[in-house]
């Protein structure tokens, strides 16, 4: 795996990077993370990602000692030699750190700060042309009073189990329902539907990660005169939508043409997802040319 890794300020090739087995991130999934990608080799919407990283860490009462400027410098140091001339995906992880085998956070003297920089592999054009299939997972999204999905934590078994179901059925993503049976989000992306020209996405109250791309899409929609609104959606609504698509930092906007064995709309990628993606990419390009962060 081609990667350059920064562990507590020390940059090495990926296969030389070391974190202790006594790190509570490894032992308990006690930590938070962000995935950021570059356009024009500039981290995109970095201020939003770092704000969410700190908000997630706060929910775990986890310190993030480096300043945002320091984190950005570490990211730039780490990505310098990765995929020259091309784009980079960065994963920033903050874990509780190394300590005794106890859940007591006081056992860990300082958090571990890891940055993984890898070449960004974009979405294949075939996926945009043909769309993807997803399934509705049998596993439910974590209840917000359990491991709250709004925390972007390293504790990802809920997502892993849902994605295993998708993989077993030959699908690209898994939709998760919440405890009320509403659509929440996917294992690694947010979900959007289009009905009568209006774009709808589950509200935060459905229990989901407030995606940076999801939030940006409200702005992209406004920019091209497409209404993007929050709405409670259920599985039965999928029979009445014209388009369905997913969003995430690394996947941008990908059209969904099938859920399980049911085709969505006309069974091929729709025009609104395509218009949103085109404008999204244009804005990402402009924003990363005109400023270092968003
Ligand atoms: C569960 C989940 N929902 C949504 C997203 C999309 O978030 P973002 O747009 O910030 O990448 C992700 C991204 O990894 C995710 O893991």
The pLDDT tens digits of the residues spanning 221-250 come to: 999 999 999 999 999 999 999 999 999 999
Q: Is there a contact between 141 and 207 (Cβ–Cβ < 8 Å)? A: yes
Which tens digits make up the pLDDT trace of 154-207? 999 999 999 999 999 999 999 999 999 999 999 999 999 999 999 999 999 999
pLDDT at 143: 98
CA of 182 to the centre of ligand 1 (A): 18
What does the alpha-carbon distance between residue 173 and residue 155 come to, in Å, rounded to a whole number? 19
Burial class (CB in 10 A: 0-12, 13-18, 19+), 165: middle
Residue 1: its pLDDT value, please? Answer: 80
Give residue-wise pLDDT tens across range 21-67: 999 999 999 999 999 999 999 999 999 999 999 999 999 999 999 99
CB-CB contact of 29 with 156 (8 Å):
yes
Residue of 249, 276, 284 with the most ligand 1 atoms within 8 Å of its CB, for mutation:
249
Contact 174, 162 (CB under 8 A): yes
Mutate which of 190, 207, 212, 277 for ligand 1 pocket (most atoms within 8 A of beta carbon)? 190
- pLDDT above 70 covers a percentage of the chain that reads 99
Question: Quick check: 294 pLDDT over 70?
Answer: no
What is the DSSP code (8-state) at residue 140?
Answer: P
pTM of the model: 0.97
Per cent of the chain over pLDDT 90 is 98
Q: Quickly state the pLDDT bin for 291 (edges 50, 70, 90).
A: low
Domain ranges of the chain: 4-119, 125-288
Mean pLDDT of the chain: 97
pLDDT for res 290: 79
Q: Which fold has domain 4-119?
A: D-amino Acid Aminotransferase; Chain A, domain 1 (3.30.470)
Atom of ligand 1 nearest to the CA of 159: 1
Could you check whether 4-119 and 125-288 share the same CATH topology? no
Q: Which atom of ligand 1 is nearest to the CA of 190?
A: 4
Instruction: Say which residue the tokens 């599985």 belong to.
Output: 235
* CA 84 to centroid of ligand 1, rounded, Å: 26
CATH architecture for residues 125-288: Alpha-Beta Barrel (3.20)
| 3 state SS of 213 | helix
Q: Residue of the nearest CA to atom 16 in ligand 1?
A: 188
Q: How far apart are the first and last CA of the chain?
A: 30
């Amino acid at each position: 795996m081609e990667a350059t890794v920064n562990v507590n300020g020390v940059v090495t090739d990926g296969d030389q990077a070391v974190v202790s087995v006594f790190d509570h991130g490894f032992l308990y999934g006690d930590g938070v993370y962000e995935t950021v990608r570059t356009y024009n080799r500039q981290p995109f919407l970095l201020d939003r990602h770092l704000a969410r990283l700190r908000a997630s860490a706060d929910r775990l009462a986890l310190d993030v000692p480096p300043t945002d400027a320091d984190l950005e410098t570490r990211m730039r140091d780490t990505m310098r030699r990765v995929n020259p001339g091309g784009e980079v995906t960065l994963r920033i992880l903050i874990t509780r750190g190394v300590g005794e085998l106890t859940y007591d956070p006081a056992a860990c003297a300082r958090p571990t700060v890891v940055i993984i920089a890898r070449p960004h592999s974009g979405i294949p054009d075939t996926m945009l042309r043909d769309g993807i299939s997803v399934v509705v997972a049998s596993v439910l999204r974590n209840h917000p009073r359990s491991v709250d999905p709004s925390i972007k934590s390293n504790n990802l078994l809920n997502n892993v189990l849902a994605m295993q179901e998708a993989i077993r059925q030959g699908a690209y993503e898994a939709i998760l329902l919440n405890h009320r049976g509403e659509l929440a989000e996917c294992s690694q992306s947010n979900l959007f539907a289009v009905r009568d020209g209006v774009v709808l996405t589950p509200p935060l109250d459905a229990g989901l990660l407030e995606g940076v791309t999801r939030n940006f899409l409200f702005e992209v929609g406004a920019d091209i005169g497409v209404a993007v609104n929050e709405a409670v959606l259920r599985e039965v609504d999928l029979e009445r939508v014209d388009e369905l698509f997913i969003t995430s930092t690394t996947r941008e906007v990908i059209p969904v043409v099938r859920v399980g064995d049911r085709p969505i709309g006309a069974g091929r990628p729709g025009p609104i997802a395509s218009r949103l993606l085109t404008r999204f990419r244009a804005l990402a390009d402009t924003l990363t040319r005109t400023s270092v962060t968003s």
